[in-house]
Every structure is written in structure tokens, then in C-alpha cells.
Amino acid sequence: MKKAFFVVLLALFTVNVSAQLKKIEGKGIYTERDIYLDSNGKRYSNQVSFHFFKQTLTENSYNLEKLNNSKLKQILTAIEKDFGSFTIRKAYTDKHWGDSISTNIITKKPVFVRDLSQFYRLEFDKIICVDEVINKLKETKIFRSVWGPVCKVDMYSPSDYIPTAQWAMNNTDATKA
């Protein structure tokens, strides 16, 4: 009798553990990576993105052994100890430090554009609690911003119940607009 009770209890526990994380999915929902939610509303995934205040890294891909910045290496070593191994990848591989001045196509004058060279991602080997990693990274003062994978909801459907009446216009008379 006791064996049967423990077998049933063990089976219920394994079902409960596997049902704790729920994947965010649905019609019109697109995510960078798979995102899961637990019953407390914490997000789980395998990617965390961040943006440095100043030039900190220059390569497109890093592991902890290749890092020269001792403060960053110390922070990320603690993250690896708590959450497992990861790779550091540059978000915009074609951007370099100093690419912040461009030329306006119309006026031919120089304009300032956002520097995208210091956007990086931590890509973990397993699913981790993104919210905990974000909180640990935000405690340090070397990151301008830290965020988890982005979830986009497509809102392209018109709210008009007769789409052909207004939404299917092939052209617009721009001179009257």
C-alpha cells in the first residue's frame, strides 16, 4: 500500500513539475527565442541581451576565457556559476565603435545615429530564469540596459467587420490627404 502511494505521489509530482512552465505562443505572437512563464510570472528562456555604456567589447563572439575586461569577466563568471555556460554574441555584427555619424540623404549634412556596436547577447546552453539574470546584471553599473527576449504581437487585422468597405483600398489620393 505504501509503495503504491509513493508511486502515485511521484507520478503527480513529475506531472506538476513539467506543467510549471508554460510556453508563450498563440496566433500572431512572435518571439526572438522560446519564452516560458512559470506560475509566479517569471520569464524563462536561453537569451539575455544588454547594451554597454561605453566601448567594452569589440569582437563578434566571446567566451569567458577570451574576455580582457576583468570587471566584466568577474560579473559574467558569477552568472555562469549560478546559471550555467553561455556564449557572448554581438547583436549587430556589421556595426563598429564610432559608427555614430552618418550623412542625411536629402540635405547631405552629417547626422548622429544610435551607436549599435555595443549591443550583445548572452546565449545560454539551457533555459534559465531570465528575470533573475537581468536583475543580477542591472545591479552592476556597466550596462546601459538589460532585457530578455522580445515578444511581438502582430496587430495587422482591421477592427472593421467589413474589411472590403474601407481597408482594401488599392491606392490613396495623396494630394487631398
116 located within any domain = yes
Q: Does 7 have pLDDT greater than 80?
A: no
For residue 11, the model assigns a pLDDT of 52
For residue 16, the model assigns a pLDDT of 46
176 located within any domain = no
How many distinct structural domains can be found in the chain?
1
159 located within any domain = no
Summarize pLDDT for 50-104 with one digit per residue, the tens: 999 988 888 888 878 778 888 899 999 999 999 999 999 999 888 888 888 888 8
Contact at 8 Å (CB) between 33 and 45?
yes
**Alpha helical stretches, state H, the chain:** 2-18, 70-83, 130-139, 163-166
For residue 172, the model assigns a pLDDT of 52
Contacts of 7 (CB under 8 A, 6+ apart): none
For residue 177, the model assigns a pLDDT of 46
Average pLDDT over residues 25-35: 86
For residue 161, the model assigns a pLDDT of 55
Q: Which residues pair with 123 in a beta bridge?
A: 47, 87
The candidate with the shortest Cα–Cα distance to 121, out of 145, 99, 156, 97, is 145
142 located within any domain = yes
Domain extent for 55: 22-153
Q: Does 17 have pLDDT greater than 80?
A: no
Between 146 and 163, residue with greater pLDDT: 146
Separation CA 51–CA 95 (nearest Å)? 13
86 located within any domain = yes
Between 50 and 25, residue with greater pLDDT: 50
pTM for the predicted model, two decimal places: 0.71
For residue 154, the model assigns a pLDDT of 76
Average pLDDT over residues 147-165: 69
Q: Does 15 have pLDDT greater than 50?
A: no
The candidate with the shortest Cα–Cα distance to 120, out of 81, 72, 74, 83, is 72
Contacts of 75 (CB under 8 A, 6+ apart): 137, 140, 142
* Mean of the per-residue pLDDT values of the chain: 81
Between 176 and 148, residue with greater pLDDT: 148
Q: Which residues pair with 133 in a beta bridge?
A: none
Q: Does 44 have pLDDT greater than 80?
A: yes
8 located within any domain = no
31 located within any domain = yes
167 located within any domain = no
For residue 13, the model assigns a pLDDT of 52
